[in-house]
Amino acid sequence: MFPVWKGVFRRKRVGRIEADRPCRSEEIPSHVALIMDGNGRWARKRALPRAAGHHAGMLAMRDVIRAADDWGIKVLTLYSFSTENWKRPHHEINYLWQLVDEFFQLDIGELVARNVHIRILGEPSQLPQATQVTIARALESTKTCSGLVVQFALNYGSRWEIVKAVQHIASRIQKNEIAVAEIDEDMVSNAMDTAGLPDPDLLIRTAGDQRISNFLLWQIAYSEFVFVDVMWPEFTRKHFYSAIQAFVARERRFGGLK
């Protein structure tokens, strides 16, 4: 049975902006990464349990995935559970895994209909067995989908990812498959969980904090950052639209001159 607080809020629609692209198709960022922050603070302001904030955050995530697909974004990476999040209370962690199960069970049909391809960043083998099964089914269901790629960072930490990549490359050297002199940026990128995908053009973090929190440290070398004060459960297409417009207005030089 759903907790009683699940009926106390609804996602609001925001008019025509839901259907309109925030800019011309060629200006849409190919890859947007999101640090979805503020669920607990959103709940506390409403005298609700933190679980209510996480559930509201799942609804916001659903809307953002739909918007990214509607607007032609190619890759969306969502920071869902970090390696540091294991420090939280057990009951909160357990509820987060229940939410993962709920999302994929309820939304997999729409994701497949939208041709969304699911990828997982991180180490899912440490997650509860039921969640691993749910994730495996979602990966299997969307493996032939060729539209928007949605990456869920689950039990993910960027330093861990970089260490794993270094270990992989070192193992290849040890097996005499490659020489040290052959190591370059492409080789390192291809050893990351995000191999084969473009680096994020835009990183958005909600809830006002302005830090990276061990997220995609290698991949965001030239990403544009947009920090918004709104808590994640309140983040709508309108806020997403505004963040993309801010991205488009910037001049990206990648260390060179215009």
Out of 37, 63, 69, 201, pick the active-site residue. 37
CA distance 204 to 212: 10
Q: Which of 103, 51, 74 is nearest to 198 (CA)?
A: 74
In the residue annotation, 39 being an active-site residue is answered as no
CB 168 within 8 A of CB 192: no
Q: What is the 3-state secondary structure (H, E, C) of the chain?
A: CCCHHHHCCCCCCCHHHHCCCCCCHHHCCCEEEEECCCHHHHHHHCCCCHHHHHHHHHHHHHHHHHHHHHHCCCEEEEEEEEHHHHHCCHHHHHHHHHHHHHHHHHHHHHHHHCCCEEEEECCHHHCCHHHHHHHHHHHHHHCCCCCCEEEEEEEECHHHHHHHHHHHHHHHHHCCCCCHHHCCHHHHHHCCCCCCCCCCCEEEECCCCCCCCCCCCCCCCCCEEEECCCCHHHCCHHHHHHHHHHHHHCCCCCCCCC
**Alpha-carbon dihedral angle through residues 91, 97, 99, 101, given to the nearest 10 degrees:** -140
Give me the count of residues in the chain: 258
In the residue annotation, 37 being an active-site residue is answered as yes
Out of 39, 70, 85, 94, pick the active-site residue. 85
Residues marked as catalytic? 37, 85
